[in-house]
Amino acid sequence: MAMTLHVDIVSAEKELFSGPAEMVVAPGELGELGILPRHSQLLTRLKPGQVRIRLLGGEEQLFYVSGGLLEVQPHVVTILSDTAERAKDLDESAAQAARQRAEQAIGDHRSEFEFARAKAELAEAIAQLQAIEKMRKLRKSG
């Protein structure tokens, strides 16, 4: 009986591949890995590069990953691919930005004033409609 692996490749925004395979070759951080069924449990980081999957018929399928994580269980291979190239400083700058935004916005009271006013007017109109509707219902039942 042929030994198979179940392979899942997912990225945060979509599923790339899910199905049986004979072998998976992935760019591990410490070198390329070839994974066959009954490989022992393994957890590693991936480098940007190609993931090759040999399907049951011997046909091969290629995927590009820009880094991520690879988990191996004896019969299941899971690749959690990153969506985009990420660097440490990218995360850091995103965090900085979020922090600064909070500080800035706390000080700033007037931003989006015009838009907010237009919205408030519309909300008022809708509230009026609702109130009238309710009153009408009350009057009808009463």
Partner 1 sequence: MAGAKEIRSKIKSIQSTQKITKAMEMVAASKMRKALERMQAARPYAIKIRNVISHLAHAHTDYRSPGLVERELKRVGLIIISTDRGLCGGLNSNLFRITIGAMQQWRVQGVEVDLCVVGTKAFQFFRRLRGNIVAHIAHLGDAPRFEDVLGPVKIMADAFTEGRIDAIYLVYNEFVNTMSQKPRIERLFPVTSEVKGTAPRHSDDTYEPDITSRIPAGTVLPAHPWDYIYEPAPEELIELLLRRYGESVVYQALAENVACEMAARMVAMKSASDNAGTLIDELQLIYNKARQASITQELAEIVGGAAAV
Nearest CA to 26 among 4, 3, 42, 2?
42
> Per 3-state DSSP, what percentage of the chain is helix, strand, and coil (rounded to 5)?
35, 40, 25
Stretch that binds partner 1, among 47-55, 57-65, 95-103 (CB under 8 A): 95-103
As given in the structure block, the two tokens for residue 130 are 């609702």
Q: How many residues are listed for the chain in this entry? A: 142
Q: How far is CA 117 from CA 2, 104, 129, 135, 136, in A?
A: 68, 21, 19, 27, 29
* Site for partner 1, residues 3 to 62, rule: CB under 8 A: 3-4, 6, 8, 10-15, 18-20, 28-30, 38, 40-45
For the bound state, the minimum distance from the C-beta of residue 5 to partner 1, rounded and expressed in Å, comes to 8
* Residue 80 near partner 1 by CB under 8 A: yes
Stretch that binds partner 1, among 1-9, 47-55, 58-66 (CB under 8 A): 1-9
Q: Give the residue carrying structure tokens 């066959």.
A: 36
In the complex, the residues that contact partner 1 under the rule CB under 8 A are: 1, 3-4, 6, 8, 10-15, 18-20, 28-30, 38, 40-45, 69, 71, 73-76, 78, 80, 83-84, 86, 90-92, 94-99, 101-102, 105-106, 112, 119, 122-123, 125-126, 129-130, 132-133, 136
